[in-house]
Amino acid sequence: MTSTLTIEPQSEIVAAASVKTSKMPLWKQEGAEPFLRIENITKKFGEFTAVDNISLDIYKNELFCLLGGSGSGKSTLLRMLAGFESPTSGRIIIDGVDMAGIQPWKRPVNMMFQSYALFPHLSVEENVAFGLKREGLDRSEVKQRVAKMLDMVQLGHLGKRKPNQLSGGQRQRVALARSLVKRPKLLLLDEPLGALDKKLREETQFELINIQEELGVTFVVVTHDQEEAMTLASRIGVMNHGVIVQTAEPHDVYEYPNSRFVAEFIGSVNLFEGRVVEDLPDSVKIDSKDAGKILHVYHGISCAPNQKVHVALRPEKTHISKEKPEQQENCIKGVIEETAYMGSLSVYRVRLASGMEVRVTQPNTTRELGARLTWNDEVYLYWDIDSSVVLTS
Amino acid sequence: MSIQTGSAWVEGSGSRLAKYNLLNRINWGRFSVIAIPMLWLAVFFFVPFLVVFKISLSETAIAVPPYTALLDWNLEDAFINLKLNLGNYLFLFEDSFYIDAYLSSIKIAAISTVFTLLIAFPIAYMIARSKPTTRALLLSLVILPFWTSFLLRVYAWMGFLKKNGLINEFLLSTGIIDQPLIMLQTDFAVYIGIVYTYLPFMVLPLYSALEKMDITLLEAAEDLGSKPATSFFLITVPMAMPGIIAGCMLVFIPAVGEFVIPALLGGSDTLMIGRVLWDEFFLNRDWPMASAVAVVMLIVLVLPIMMIRNSQGKEEAV
């Protein structure tokens, strides 16, 4: 300690190092205390199990996305956090306090509803002030905090309007302001951008991230939109049939999906079915009828010889060319059946000899039309040994 | 030159445009849709009102019909005589009997309306929150009484309320009371009659307002720290306000002029304007006085309603 104070350059290094450790996400730090702990939560509606024994830790300042299709149980889980539904079994612990039996109006949690649920008979200001007034704060403080919050979401000039006089994007921001003004420890967002058009949605995504970083509130976002989850989230929990299938950072969920469901749900993917023929130390060889040859994949999985597996390959990680490439491994022949020009990239559907259709996307790096591949072109598809993933489930 | 012709052309086209607009401005579809109910109102409401108003300005006479004509003329002497008698109106305000009758009617109608609202709100709320399948059943139960004659139902209440009626017999047999309660021919019986009769008119508009309400609003209120009771007054009641206003008007207005219920269930001291009207008309055969009573009643009812509607319209326009 003393030495770092006396020797300047060294102290800088120490400081830099400490910044680095604090920047390391909490969920990677061992022994970090989770802010929100979900323990073996199950919710049944009659015979139907909406949420099936989920356990999940969410840390302070996280922007956690629950991603899943409709009926995956993500909204039910969120409603249990808010206190609108009580779990059939299991515990929810927020900031060290067990939420069992705690009424929604007593929880340190606020929710932004999918429909925004703005009070139509109250003005924007009154909507935002609603929660503060329930706390019994004095008028001047309510007024000041409402004004500050409306300024933050850039609606300071519209405070006197009624919700039906606002555009969709403005309503969304009122809803956000209303749920944030109470300074909740945990903010729940149910499809926050669902009702916005694409352009507004992209702008708002970044606004949401800025606000989250500025206020240091822990966000739990429910969405069915994988793109939204990818841009917003610090971590994603992919849900299916009431179960969290995979919890990982957006990059890992996309690049290293742990199941066919995740691979297919997030982005598009080509799946080659096959059997393990050779399990090497850090790679595996798979005989795939779909591909018509043996595929070689780097992997981190444990598998038995002759086990049935799938090789998942993202369309954009596949190279496509009319000339035969030098590489022999992971190279298959096919015929282009369909092409689609999308501006920044082109999509090709290639039919293999096995009858399987492979989707390939390539960035349009040149403007020339002549060089482009077209229908009925015989092409070679090839990819790097570490571009694909083996999925056992 | 070219500029002039240009402007002439513009002018010409402008007037053609105006002509086109004039023909087009009368939207015949819209016109006929509005005209039919307007005609209905004119024939069956406005014209009869004018007739009543005219009679109220005449004097009683022993004749058929029993009032004097407003106009009489003699073409030979070339005079037209218009005689307006404001005496009936003056008398209305001179004799405290009429003013008391108005005030008493309004009081009875207002109290009944409040009770109807208090009873109808939970009913409407429950129906609006029940499953869609049970909802239809419950709504038909609300409307079911209309299948029996209104008069019959009021008579049925007489059977309940009278001295040796069902309620008294039950209370006497269980020993809760040892003397029969006097319920029939009291104001209490009138309140029961009005509340019972007009309940569906309150339930239906309340139901339609509550059914439209988004339940997530209540969840949002709870989420923001509001207890259910607070949410009820801050969210549910304001959201149901159109239904509350409509229901109260549907109950209050006919209740003020109610005749049958006070006549059958009320006592001799139950003073209501409908009864006064009946007495003036059929007992005193004073048609002009009866008409004046009716006109004033209409004004008493219509003016505040128009004021409420006006303020509502302004609020919505803001």
Give the separation between CA A248 and CA A255, rounded to whole angstroms: 11
Say if residue B317's pLDDT is above 70: no
pLDDT at site B270: 84
CB contact under 8 A, A117 and B216: yes
Q: Does B222 touch chain A (CB under 8 A)?
A: yes
Q: Nearest Cβ partner of B223 from A82, A120, A121?
A: A82
CA distances (Å), origin A177, targets A119, A165, A188, B74, B221 = 13, 17, 13, 81, 14
Measured from the Cβ of residue B6, the count of other Cβ atoms closer than 10 Å reads: 10
pLDDT at site A19: 41
Q: DSSP H helical segments within chain B, as ranges?
A: 2-25, 28-41, 47-56, 87-94, 96-129, 132-143, 150-161, 166-174, 187-212, 216-223, 228-231, 237-256, 260-265, 273-278, 287-317
Asked if residue A242 lies in contact with residue A54, where contact means CB atoms within 8 angstroms, the answer is: yes
> Looking at CA atoms only, how far is residue B215 from chain A in angstroms?
9
pLDDT at site B38: 92
Largest interatomic CA distance in chain B:
109
Picking from B213, B214, B216, B224 by the largest number of A CB atoms within 10 A of its own CB, the best residue to mutate is B224
Instruction: Name every chain B residue with its beta carbon within 8 A of the beta carbon of A182.
Output: 224-225
Amino acid found at A69: G
Lowest mean pLDDT across A128-132, B235-239, B309-313: B309-313
Give the separation between CA A173 and CA B63, rounded to whole angstroms: 76
pLDDT at site B30: 81
Q: Nearest Cβ partner of B226 from A105, A120, A178?
A: A105
pLDDT tens digit at each of 393 positions of chain A: 334 333 344 444 444 444 444 567 778 777 788 999 999 999 999 999 999 999 999 998 899 999 999 889 999 999 999 999 999 999 999 999 999 989 999 999 999 999 999 999 999 999 999 999 999 999 999 999 999 999 888 899 999 999 999 998 899 999 999 999 998 989 999 988 877 777 777 877 888 888 888 888 899 999 998 888 988 899 999 999 999 999 999 999 999 998 999 999 988 899 999 998 888 888 888 898 888 888 888 866 677 788 888 999 999 999 998 888 888 888 999 999 999 888 888 899 999 989 899 999 988 887 776 667 888 889 999 999 888 888 887
Asked if residue B56 lies in contact with residue B63, where contact means CB atoms within 8 angstroms, the answer is: no
Token digits of residue A32: 């970090």
CB contact under 8 A, B221 and A130: yes
pLDDT at site B11: 46
Q: Nearest Cβ partner of A115 from B216, B226, B227?
A: B216
> Looking at CA atoms only, how far is residue B258 from chain A in angstroms?
35
CB contact under 8 A, A130 and B216: no
The model's pLDDT over B243-287, given as tens digits with 9 standing for 90+, comes to: 999 999 999 999 998 999 998 998 888 889 988 899 898 988 899
CA distances (Å), origin B20, targets B16, B17, B23, B32, B252 = 6, 5, 5, 20, 48
More confident residue, B202 or A292: B202
Give the separation between CA B263 and CA B185, rounded to whole angstroms: 9
Q: Which residues face A331 on adjacent strands?
A: A382
pLDDT at site A306: 84
Q: Does B214 touch chain A (CB under 8 A)?
A: yes
Q: Does B215 touch chain A (CB under 8 A)?
A: no
Give A 95-114 residues with CB within 8 A of chain B: 103-106, 109-111, 113
Residues of chain B with CATH 1.10.3720.10: 95-285
Task: Determine whether A112 is exposed, middle or buried from the number of CB atoms within 10 Å of its CB (0-12, 13-18, 19+).
Answer: buried
Q: Provide the edge-to-edge strand list for the sheet that holds A186-190.
A: A109-112, A186-190, A218-223, A63-68, A235-240, A243-248
Q: Does B238 touch chain A (CB under 8 A)?
A: yes
Tell me the fold of B95-285: MetI-like fold (1.10.3720)
How confident is residue B13, by pLDDT bands cut at 50, 70 and 90? very low
CB contact under 8 A, A182 and B235: no
CB contact under 8 A, B220 and A121: no
The model's pLDDT over A138-196, given as tens digits with 9 standing for 90+, comes to: 999 999 999 999 988 889 999 999 999 999 889 999 999 999 999 898 999 998 887 77
pLDDT at site A9: 43
Amino acid found at A163: P
pLDDT at site B255: 93
pLDDT at site A370: 63
Q: Which residue has the tokens 């339609």?
A: B208
Crossing angle of the two packed helices B96-129 and B187-212, in degrees rounded to 10: 40
Domains and CATH numbers, chain A: 33-260 (3.40.50.300), 268-391 (2.40.50.140)
**Average pLDDT in the B120-149 region?**
93
pLDDT at site B163: 87
Give the separation between CA A133 and CA A141, rounded to whole angstroms: 10
The model's pLDDT over A241-255, given as tens digits with 9 standing for 90+, comes to: 999 999 999 999 999
pLDDT at site B22: 59
Token digits of residue A25: 């996400």
**Average pLDDT in the B202-223 region?**
95
Q: Does B303 touch chain A (CB under 8 A)?
A: no
What percent of chain B stands above pLDDT 70? 90
Q: Does A136 touch chain B (CB under 8 A)?
A: no
CB contact under 8 A, A134 and B214: no
